[in-house]
Amino acid sequence: MYQERINKAKILLEALPYIKRFHGATIVIKYGGSLMVQEERKGMFAADIVLLKYVGMNPVIVHGGGKEISRWMEKLGKKAVFVDGLRVTDAETMEITEMVLSGKINNEVVSLINQAGGRAVGLSGKDARMFRAERMKTEKDRDLGQVGTVTSVDVGLIETLSNDGYIPVISSVGISEDGESLNMNADDVAAAVALGLGAKKLVYLTDVQGIMKDDNLIPALDYAEATELLNSPTISGGMKPKLECSLHALAGTVDNVHIINGSVEHAVLLELFTDIGIGTMITSDGK
């Protein structure tokens, strides 16, 4: 008669050790992938983030939005150009990028979290000069326009908001020393923010289960194993730069990086609060 309710209680008890361990800890979550276009999953993600805040953690959201930028460029009659997987960003493309990232997507995420009972605040890296950046080029020294890489992060505003009970939601737009707006890779930005905040965990929401080998999920890796894997044929495509960002974060102060499928229902909670998890966890052990 009460078995279903008992099972729910057991689930809560399974989560208890993790809630205790990470109470007061900062968790940086990179929001991206197909999750950004799945309407029913967006609301679940927002509710998960609010729950993290209410159980005593400090979630910080970093997002990009490449697919949405391309969609709006097409609507406005502008063709997207990529070099070595990086978007060439002229002044007009940068205007569209800011409109989509700091306007549309950021406002949507903030609104969803607030509707779920949280107190979210939208930011870009330009606010309070949070992200200092400089222009970057391709490996073959080709100019990409207003594409940047993070040179420093001032986390003071993020910490103030988190400590006051707010959930910061940050778009991956930065500013150069001479005031030029720069479009930055959200994976890189999330790693830089996690390092600046001394985050315990960095979570990448993706479109894949995690790191795969021979079609099987690798549930856990330490730093040494992940470093060895980085240069193997197992890691290719978009997973390679994501793993590089993960190792960069782990080489600093971040304890764990999680690469998970964000389109799974309640993906963040399943990864952080269950014994098995759903993706790949990379630990700082073995540095």
pLDDT in tens, the chain (287 residues): 677 888 888 888 888 999 999 999 999 999 987 777 777 789 999 999 999 999 999 999 999 998 899 899 999 889 888 887 788 899 999 999 999 999 999 999 999 999 999 999 999 999 999 999 999 877 777 788 899 999 999 999 999 999 999 999 999 999 999 999 999 999 999 999 999 999 999 999 999 999 998 889 999 999 999 999 998 888 877 888 899 999 999 999 999 999 999 989 999 999 999 988 999 999 998 77
What beta strand segments (E) does the chain contain? 26-31, 58-63, 82-83, 86-87, 120-124, 131-137, 143-153, 167-171, 173-175, 181-184, 201-206, 212-213, 216-217, 220-221, 256-261, 280-283
Residue 54 phi, psi (nearest 5): -70, -25
What is the model's pLDDT at position 1?
62
What is the spatial distance between Cα 205 and Cα 249, in angstroms, rounded to a whole number?
A: 16
Residues linked to residue 134 through DSSP beta bridges, in sequence order: 149
- Asked whether 109 and 167 are in contact (CB, 8 A), the reply is no
What is the spatial distance between Cα 145 and Cα 56, in angstroms, rounded to a whole number?
A: 42
What is the spatial distance between Cα 228 and Cα 222, in angstroms, rounded to a whole number?
A: 10
- Asked whether 57 and 23 are in contact (CB, 8 A), the reply is yes
What is the model's pLDDT at position 63?
95
Residues linked to residue 83 through DSSP beta bridges, in sequence order: 86
Which residues 6+ apart lie within 8 Å of 18 measured at CB?
272, 273
Round the CA-based radius of gyration of the chain to a whole number and report it. Answer: 19
| Structure-token match 């002044």, residue found | 91
Asked whether the whole model's pTM tops 0.85, one would answer yes
Widest distance between CA atoms in the chain: 68
Which residues 6+ apart lie within 8 Å of 42 measured at CB?
35, 36, 108, 109, 112
Identify the CA nearest to 44 among candidates 25, 31, 56, 55: 31
CATH of domain 3-283: 3.40.1160.10
DSSP H or E segment with residue 249: helix 239-251
What is the spatial distance between Cα 129 and Cα 3, in angstroms, rounded to a whole number?
A: 54
